Amino acid sequence: MNEQDLKEMIRSLLSEMDTDTVTELKKEEQTQNSEFKSLEKNGVQPDKEETTIEDGIIPDITEVDIQEQFLVPNAINEEAYRKIKKFTPARLGLWRAGNRYKTETVLRFRADHAAAQDAVFSYVSDDFVKEMGFIPVQTKASTKDEYLTRPDYGRVFPEDQQKIIKESCKPNPKVQIVVGDGLSSSAIEANVRDFLPALKQGLKMFGLDFNEVLFIKHARVAAMDQIAELTGAEVICMLVGERPGLVTAESMSAYMAYKPTVGMPESRRTVVSNIHKGGTPAVEAGAYVAEIIKKILDNKKSGVELK
């Protein structure tokens, strides 16, 4: 399935959404307005909550905090239920209509699923890459469809891109930073701005620094291995957007390796994952990754060997 087919499928799904929800909300609003007018006639000023529905558009359902939302009526122990929800983004306490989910729950599920798909099929904007001063390169994968169906293409660079990497990066650096779009462009734009300054400051505390930052389009994690061979970097740190789920589409990971080589086992990588506002905040993660890089350089090993 190509990108165009996927977009058509999404449009079809959206068009099939239950319009009864909008109708019911409009009826509810009309009923509330009648009640408010009746109260105002009797000299009572009600606390009217603004709920505007225009042209079938309802408020953004994704703005609701799932961990705060509680839909179970007459719960035996609502306080304990809400306490559990504070510790997980799982969809607890949703309730039902007969044997089915409530309409609100289904719409939220579809919205989160759409956000996950957008994160995979969209691109990090050129303006963002320019703003951050990254050096753009691209793997052998020439399209998003090819990137998804041929993971091996996302791990290597064609000769012209190898030349750009060699000419643009300082040879044999202690630390080389790489940013890859991976499976979530949203994760990169949401976290990198805060992550990199924290990383840079943390490295300076150890007498370390980094210069040029490469940005890889259509990147798989193992693309960092060929970059290490081309630049001679001692440690590669690659920030990459992770596969999105229904909890968040903005999760980023930092993969680190000591002198990685093409074809090396995954066990040689050290990773800090779940970097996003609902997990490990980008600033905190940047400082933590700086400490790990220092540890990797001191021990001259990474991955399971580092532990």
Among candidate residues 128, 111, 120, 136, the one with its CA nearest the CA of residue 59: 111
pLDDT at residue 49 is higher than 50: no
Residue 240 annotated as binding?
Answer: no
| pLDDT of 103 | 85
CA 47-50-53 angle, to 5 degrees, is: 150
Residue 299: how many other CB atoms lie within 10 Å: 11
pLDDT score at 33: 60
The tens digit of pLDDT for each residue in 247-256 reads: 788 999 999 9
User: Does residue 221 have a known ligand-binding role?
Assistant: yes
Mean pLDDT of the chain: 86
pLDDT the model gives residue 29: 59
Closest CA to 220 of 158, 153, 169: 153
Output the six-digit token pair for 246.
């229904």
Q: What percent of the chain has pLDDT over 90?
A: 55
- Strand 135-138 relative to strand 213-217, pairing: parallel
Reported confidence tier of residue 50, pLDDT bands at 50, 70, 90 = very low
What's the burial of 243, exposed, middle or buried (CB within 10 Å: 0-12/13-18/19+)?
middle
The pairing of beta strand 252-258 with beta strand 270-275: antiparallel
Band (283; pLDDT cuts 50, 70, 90) = very high
